[in-house]
Structure 1
Amino acid sequence: MPHRRDGATAARRPGEHGGRGYRRLVGRPTSGRPETTASTRSPPLSEQPEDAGDDGAAAAAAPVRRARTRLLALLAVTVFLADLGSKLLVVATVDRGENIRLLGGLLHLTHARNTGAAFSFAEGFTVVFTLIAAVVVVVIVRTARRLFSTGWAVALGLVLGGAVGNLVDRVFRDPGFLRGGVVDFVSVFAPNGEVYPIFNVADSAIVCGGLLGAVLALRGIEFDGSRARDRGDDAVSRG
């Protein structure tokens, strides 16, 4: 009976099946990497869906957004702690109405309670300003999610820290909830706010942040770091 060779034997003796031609059909050992075929080859970038590019851009921008958000939060916390610490120190060491002359009269340390807006404006509208401050805090926190501009991160961080600092006074200090008097203690050039209204750390941060935000807005810088003029030019060019 003739001996029948199985497939393995045939593969070991390629000479009986056409030599090199058979080896090409059977396949030669490779370097370990699978061959790239038309079915596995990635399509060129021009043929890839636009969603892939959008996802890549979003992934690349995420670290920048997180860094700006951290900067905003760091400034806000720093302002809040400085404001809170200075107020606690004044309440504990300076009597109401007392004036302590500093720097040859350039500054006067005092102790006053403000029921109005920053720098003692519009006193008597405590509840209104408390609600406004709460709205400002919520808006800034929501805006932080789409923040890519360093300048806006600094501006909003200052405003947020100052708003929270004064909001804590309005909520927890006498005479009661939402009606508390904000502790003011810095008077410049003369005692008792005779030349310039008495203020605190939170007031200063709010004003500085507001001025910086106004400058950024006048320059057309958006929260995402782009310029409004450039965005308009892009829209015109696409049209």
Structure 2
Amino acid sequence: MTTSTFTRRLPVVVAIALTVLVVDQATKFWAESTLVGRAPIPVLGDFIRFRLLYNPGAAFSLGSGSTWIFTIIAAVAVVVLARFATRPQTAGRAFALALLLGGASTHLLDRLFRAPGFARGHVVDFIDYNGWFVGNVADIALTVGAVLLVLFGFTEQEDDQAGKPDRAE
């Protein structure tokens, strides 16, 4: 991969991550302004419903008493993902990293700035999947990004010689 390919890709990665962040926060604003005090709203029967919850923990509300730990984990994830995203990547990996970066960033913002307080904030969840779990747009981006990263890890070859001329042996 040439340096110019990478420099053209980086703004796209940032744009995708920002789009995930904005869409996630906008849908959470919608959920909080529309779903408070309402019974679940069927979207696809009982399989997908809109239902407002505030999650102090991780997936499936695990570790709900350790919100500050998830804030630290989210902050580390954002830094690590941003570092990886600024390295030369294949288009597929760059897209996957952008989704992960956007999802982790918006969860970090929730943890930092939502009630009950700084670094203890609860994540707004509102998409109920048949009672199995309740998530949000960031969760969708994180799941898709993780699956794509695994798939591209198996199917794409990383160019370890990026920018280096071929050598005859």
Q: TM-score, normalised by structure 1?
A: 0.63
Separation of aligned partners in 2, 1:93 and 1:210: 30
Give the superposition deviation at 1:219.
Answer: 3.5
Question: 1 or 2 for the larger relative contact order (CA 8 Å, sep ≥6)?
Answer: 2
After TM superposition, list the pairs within 5 Å mapping 1:139-218 onto structure 2. 139-189=80-130, 194=131, 196-218=132-154
Match of residue 44 from structure 2 = 103
- Report SS of the residue matched to 2:89: coil
Alpha-carbon distance change, 174 to 201 in structure 1, aligned in 2, over 3 angstroms: same
The structure with more helix, counted as a fraction of residues: 1
Mapped to 1, the partners of 2:147 and 2:38 lie a distance apart of 31
Count of residue pairs the alignment pairs up = 165
Q: Secondary structure at the match of 2:133?
A: coil
Query: After superposition, what is the alpha-carbon deviation per residue over 1:98-140, rounded to whole angstroms, capped at 9, x for unaligned?
Result: 3112233331101101111234333222111111111111112
The answer on whether the counterparts of 2:3 and 2:88 sit within 8 Å (CA) in structure 1 is no
Q: Is the 8 A contact 1:113 1:182 kept in 2?
A: yes
The structure richer in strand per residue is: 2
Map 1:1-239 to 2 at 5 A.
61-95=2-36, 98-189=39-130, 194=131, 196-219=132-155, 221-222=157-158, 226=159
Q: What's the Cα RMSD here?
A: 2.4
Contact 1:162–1:206 (CA under 8 A) maintained in structure 2: yes
> What secondary structure sits across from 2:120 in the alignment?
coil
> Residue 100 of structure 1 contacts residue 109 of structure 1 at CA under 8 Å; is this kept in 2?
yes
Q: TM-score under structure 2 normalisation?
A: 0.87
One-letter amino acid of the structure 2 residue matched with residue 61 of structure 1: T
Question: Which protein shows a greater Rg?
Answer: 1
Runs of 5+ in structure 1 lacking a partner?
1-59, 228-233
Q: Sequence identity, in percent?
A: 38
* Residue pair 1:98, 1:111 contacting (<8 A) in 2 also: no
